[in-house]
A and B are shown apart, each in its own frame.
Chain A
Amino acid sequence: MPLVEAIRLALAQIRVQKLKSFFTLLGVTIGVMFLIAVVSIVQGMSNYVTTAVAGKFLGVNTATLRKFPNFQTGNVTDAQWHLWMRRPPITIADAYAVRDALPAGAGWAIDDEKWVNAESKYTNGGPQLLAHATTPQLFKIKSLVVTQGRVFNEEEEQLGLPVAVIGVETQQYYFPGVDPIGREIKVGGLPFRVIGILEKQGTLFGQPLDRVIYAPFNSPMQRFTGARINLAGVIVQAPSPAAMTDVQETVTELMRQRHKLHPAQDNDFVVETSASALSAWDKIRGYLVGAGIFLPAIGLVVGGIVIMNIMLVAVAERTREIGIRKSLGARRRDVMAQFLAEATTLSILGAAFGIGLGFGLSKLLSSAFNLPSGVAPWSIVVALGLGGGVGIAAGIYPASRASRLDPIVALRAE
């Protein structure tokens, strides 16, 4: 019997017994629903983290040269920490050497940062600010835009003018009720003239991204960030995702030469990418997805057992039909195909409902608990595949029983 025929027959059978079919596929539906819901939520969080980390914190297609990693997975041992501290610093000369070694089209910026105290005439003290002594290309690389004023330019960088671009929280704390543009904020007792206010960035991993102050690298800010001791980061941006490895290798090679490392020695610096930063998240996501698959799997097993039972009942109820079909020339495999198709169609139908409900549930959860949610296309494929697999697994035994019935006995059944 052709497959189309078997499926048509299965659908007809399901239509005839709507309520029974509904209860039969409930187990699979619920299993798949939770699977989809959990995966959607995890996927949503993943999208959020990826765009937030890659876009806001590190920039797109960027790599950062640092003395030691900024992001780590797991705990760092004391011994490791000591090794890192003993590494040679990233110097200003290193930063410019990197710039000169980069291929055309690549972006480059120094981004030295440190938490500093600040003051202004308009308030009595405020929280520490994350001060950045940076070259102007940074704004472009990190897609930082101002809502008011402007960012500083190459000329101001070369002259080392004490101008500053601040975040919205800095504005709230140090310029309550006044327009900060053109006004002064003091860091380490030195005044910086505010020329721009950055768009709100929010928080990432609990770190406020708006409690910041950016000043030209050549300005006195570099004294407060400690640029001459060690640069926190030299950021490079590849012109395209494909050129990322090239750019990373260029930087790595250059630094190895500058540190006079011979081939057997490990790097005594890191070139960090958003990928390395995201590996921490990937690990967490692995556990979440694991749990998200394991728990619904229990539902699917139960659903499969229900389907198997219902199919066994169906075989018993339809013994005579099987006898008739066999007398008309149905072979074992035809009867087998019929019942397998029925179990599988039921199960896939259940999975399809589950997918719909799962997305509904994830939307509901995400709006109720303010979680991001997203559709992972693979989860639909997996859910349908699982549905089909459960159907086949649950259908094999009843179908083979049906196919082995003796036609004479089956024809006599009532």
Chain B
Amino acid sequence: MSADVREIPLSTTGERQAVVGNVGAVPGQDWVIVTRGITRDYDMGGEVVRALRGVDLAVRRNEYVAIMGPSGSGKSTLMNLVGCLDTPTSGEYWLNGSLVSDMKDDALARVRNREIGFVFQTFNLLPRATALHNVELPLVYAGVGSAERKKRAVEALERVQLADRMDHRPNELSGGQRQRVAIARALVNRPAILLADEPTGNLDSGTSEEIMRVFEELADAGQTVIMVTHESDIAAHARRIVVLRDGRISSDERREKFVQKLET
């Protein structure tokens, strides 16, 4: 079966069951992300909080997916798992053909370095480093030599139209520019997925639109983008919207349908 995941019938019964969203998805090949029943429990002083209760998610290469949900729905937990900052309590997570759910610290660090480009709400740039140096950082940890590093960092900054600001420090840049530096940093290692966590959360609406245009261009150019947000108008920029509720996927639909529902 090679059904497009977007065509898989979703549970619409309203029952809170795990949505089988990955039927037929084969890890690797053109499926960049495949999770199978991943759960994540937190031990909060003896009380177990079940943040994720079995999520099956599959994302193809070149998809532009938004993960939505109210606070407490588990979207941050899912984003940490997808970003390999955390490992699931149970279930499998395949990223770009490798099973990362069993990996240890250093292996995960390597995966983050090679396969994932993070874009954070608060930008998370090193304040004392120039834009260029910030963009070079992932390459430092990839062991790239300094000449090659600079060349690739400049290229990445050019992609976000910031080549002329590469010697500026974050505090000399506007919010939108900072986020574009962060995007350049996320792209510099040519990751399998760009993982954005509330990328417009700290930006005004005009700048938010600007950043959304950058994401769209990247998606058009073939970059897989996964964006976590709680704002539906931001999520509506993505081509597929996955909604989480109480630790499970409650809906998974194409933009058209999502926008339709928004309007009604």
A contact set with B: CB distance below 8 Å: 1-2, 5, 12, 16, 320-321, 323-334, 407-408, 411
Contact = CB atoms under 8 A, between A and B. Distances in A.
A13 to B, nearest CB: 9
B87 to A, nearest CB: 11
Nearest to A407: B85
Nearest to B127: A321
A331 B85 contact: no
Contacts, number: 58
Given A325-B137, A325-B141, 15 more contacts: A2-B143, A12-B128, A16-B128, A320-B124, A321-B126, A324-B125, A327-B83, A327-B118, A329-B114, A329-B189, A331-B110, A332-B106, A333-B106, A408-B80, A411-B85
B80 A328 contact: no
B185 interface: yes
B120 A328 contact: no
Nearest to B124: A324
Interface string B128-169: 100000000110111100000000000000000000000000
Interface residues of B, number: 25
A321 B137 CA distance: 12
Interface of B: 80, 83, 85-86, 105-106, 109-110, 112-114, 118, 120, 124-126, 128, 137-138, 140-143, 185, 189
Contacts of A321: 126
B124 A330 contact: no
B76 to A, nearest CB: 9
A1 B141 contact: yes
A328 B118 contact: yes
Contacts of A326: 85, 109, 112
B105 A324 contact: no
A327 B85 contact: yes
Contacts of B80: 408
A5 B112 CA distance: 20
Nearest to A333: B106
Given A321-B126, A411-B120, A327 B86 contact: no
A411 B83 CA distance: 13
Contacts of A320: 124
Contact of A408 (B86, B141, B189): B86
Nearest to A324: B124
A327 B124 contact: yes
A329 B112 contact: yes
Nearest to A12: B128
Contacts of A411: 85, 120, 124
Contacts of B140: 1, 5
A331 B120 contact: no
A328 B185 contact: yes
A320 B122 CA distance: 11
In the A-B complex, the 4 residue pairs with the closest CB atoms: A329-B113, A329-B141, A331-B109, A331-B106
Contacts of B124: 320, 323-324, 327, 411
Contacts of B112: 326-329
A354 to B, nearest CB: 28
